[in-house]
A and B are shown apart, each in its own frame.
Chain A
């Protein structure tokens, strides 16, 4: 019985990682950069929701819509100001810039919202459900369902629409995409917009499941989700989903059956083993880099 409960808890934690990982993997797959500020966009989204729901008293759905809108704008702005000027620079420079943006967002949140931890009111108003001795929270159901819906929409968008095809083309070969008349800058901006909008949704679900909110809320889940994205094969959308769920389940099982102190060590040890056996991740494409 407790095995099943652990499994449910693991999937619940994993689906949150998966939603965050979707954002990482999209941006990496298309812009070929690691957006380390992604976790902090999540935090900003959560604060926006907190402000609209708890401080201004609007219903949760309004909060989520406002947060998605604001985070989309934030994502485009970050891309325009911090990343676009570095398009030709080495990937290391962009990486460091992303870390800078991450700290910038954290410290802005510190100034604007203060240091003290806020208690977040869940946007999910139903549950928990009891099945025999098992407990499934409403947040878990909503997270898993949203994660699957988002994945389906993203895959359809990329495969069926012109803008999506442009993204695929840019990710395959930026130079060739330009020659085919694709506006690379616009495509990358669109990627950031979608990624940041997803971050807002992830923020609402993360803080509903674990209802505290501080300027550092996004950083650790961000790192874990990044791990999940690498685990599943960075750049692959189903990979992010699989990686996220697996990571969550491994973490909870590690805690439950091996040691609650070593759970992170176990997670990362599994990551190392997977990367040794399959360097591109579970569902990653093995693509040869041409020199």
Chain B
């Protein structure tokens, strides 16, 4: 027994010593002998972070797959400026601390640019770390303005949350979809809260009225009977759900059970509901969602992407996959515009890309003529989709 303890003590001590050395290296990035960087000299190292397990796994997996398709295409066509891309994706389970851990391990791997993170809450934490390192960050789907606020290194492929809230209010108002609207949102989630606040503010400019706005939190996100009952009692004809599809599935089931059938209107978080395992898609019939990508669009780029994605992963890509695909091409466009080379330091590369971002215009799957502000916000138009016979079609 004593020997076992001794061996353990020595092992622990050596691990600690090793860790100290490793930290020392990290603290002095000016010394150009870091193993990560020399290994990266001949390639572009793009890191990705997102939930590939846990409740939001649908989104992380879509981003990982979508980006992989773009990386493969670019590498097959000769890379960016003749240099190949290496792409690694880490799981954050939609938890902020795990996102930061994933970021640190990608840095150890030698990441030069981050295409991530996928969901808002971890992205806020990771973007703060990335800003401190001056690491170029392009989030495919993290839509909160908190990701961008006060940072010059962060850019978005998707709309900001307020943008979605505003777009939704505008869409409902201009198309006269309802006069009484109820909202159910997740107050423990920055994405949902952000959309709701802007929606409520914008709604004042239109002819409809918000008759019930009820929240739930991550700890009580299975029973929606009260929220639905209140919406029903208030006579809401349209139910706005700025939330993720996992809870939306429960809300649709419970509304159906109580015989309440409002028009359901949602944002990009609803995307993915049709691929929930074993979900009765009939419940989602007629759901309208505002999202920049329509998988059944007939333009060549979309058709080619959807075909490749289906061949590789066996399902129809959602908007997140398309955002990630565009993200890789946006990075490519920025690198080409900046004439950057992979031997630049992370910080120099970021400075060059930042400058390029405000000047480039990218045509992608999620919008044509996408341009960026220096704040990181993208400008493009949302499209509405409706679920018909179990598939998304343009509304």
Contact = CB atoms under 8 A, between A and B. Distances in A.
Interface of A: 2, 5-6, 9, 12-13, 50, 54, 110, 114-121, 128, 130, 135, 137, 210-212, 214, 216, 220-221, 251-252, 255-256, 260-261, 263-264
B33 interface: no
Looking at A12, A118, A255, the one whose CB has the most chain B CB atoms below 10 A away is A255
Nearest to A223: B219
Contact of A214 (B55, B223, B230, B253): B55
A9 B249 contact: no
Nearest to A252: B226
Contact of B280 (A110, A119, A220): A119
Nearest to B233: A2
A264 B215 CA distance: 12
B226 A212 contact: no
Interface in B46-63: 51-55, 57-58, 61
Contact of A119 (B222, B225, B277): B277
A117 B276 contact: yes
Residue from the set A119, A128, A264 with the largest chain B CB neighbour count within 10 Å: A119
A260 B58 CA distance: 27
Contacts of A50: 278
Contact of B278 (A12, A120, A220): A120
A221 B223 CA distance: 11
A215 to B, nearest CB: 8
B187 interface: yes
A115 B214 CA distance: 28
Nearest to B91: A115
B277 A116 contact: yes
Interface string B260-295: 000000000000000011111000000000000000
Interface string B137-175: 000000000000000000000000000000000000000
22 contacts: A2-B229, A6-B229, A9-B226, A13-B223, A115-B51, A116-B57, A116-B276, A117-B55, A118-B278, A119-B276, A119-B277, A135-B258, A210-B222, A212-B249, A214-B54, A221-B222, A256-B226, A260-B215, A260-B226, A261-B217, A264-B217, A264-B220
Contacts of A137: 257
Nearest to B278: A119
Nearest to A139: B257
B227 interface: yes
A121 B215 CA distance: 26
A260 B54 contact: no
B259 A119 contact: no
A260 B223 CA distance: 11
- Interface of B, helix, strand, loop or mixed by DSSP: mixed
Nearest to B275: A116
A117 B246 contact: yes
Q: Which of B53, B223, B246, B280 has the most CB of A within 10 A?
A: B223
A127 B54 CA distance: 32
Contacts of A5: 225, 229
B216 interface: yes
Contacts of B280: 119
Nearest to B51: A115
Interface string B119-148: 000000000000000000000000000000
A264 B250 contact: no
B258 A128 contact: yes
Given A251-B220, A261-B187, A54 B229 contact: no
Contacts of B58: 116-117
B335 to A, nearest CB: 33
Chain A CB within 10 Å — which of B61, B187, B257 has the most? B257
A245 to B, nearest CB: 15
Contacts of B253: 211
Contacts of B52: 115
A212 B220 contact: no
Contacts of B278: 50, 54, 118-121
Interface string B308-323: 0000000000000000
A135 B258 CA distance: 6
A256 B279 contact: no
A216 B226 contact: no
B223 A212 contact: no
**Residue among A13, A212, A252 having the largest count of chain B Cβ atoms under 10 Å:** A212
A3 to B, nearest CB: 10
B219 A264 contact: yes
Given A2-B229, A264-B217, 18 more contacts: A9-B223, A12-B225, A115-B53, A115-B54, A117-B57, A121-B278, A135-B259, A211-B253, A212-B222, A212-B250, A216-B55, A252-B223, A252-B225, A255-B220, A255-B226, A256-B229, A260-B215, A263-B220
Contacts of B57: 114-117
Contacts of A115: 51-54, 57
Nearest to A9: B225
A121 B283 CA distance: 13
A210 B225 CA distance: 11
Interface string B49-93: 001111101100100000000000000000000000000000000
Contacts of B277: 116-119
Contacts of A211: 249-250, 253
Nearest to A111: B53
A260 B246 contact: no
Given A115-B53, A210-B222, A252-B226, A260 B250 contact: no
A255 B52 CA distance: 32
A128 B58 CA distance: 31
A172 B259 CA distance: 51
A128 B257 contact: yes
Given A115-B52, A119-B277, A210 B223 contact: yes
Contacts of A110: 53
A128 B277 CA distance: 24
A251 to B, nearest CB: 7
A77 B223 CA distance: 33
A214 B277 CA distance: 11
A121 B217 CA distance: 25
The 8 residue pairs across chains A and B that have the minimum distance between CB atoms: A115-B53, A115-B57, A119-B279, A210-B222, A119-B278, A255-B226, A9-B225, A118-B277
Contacts of A117: 55, 57-58, 246, 249, 276-277
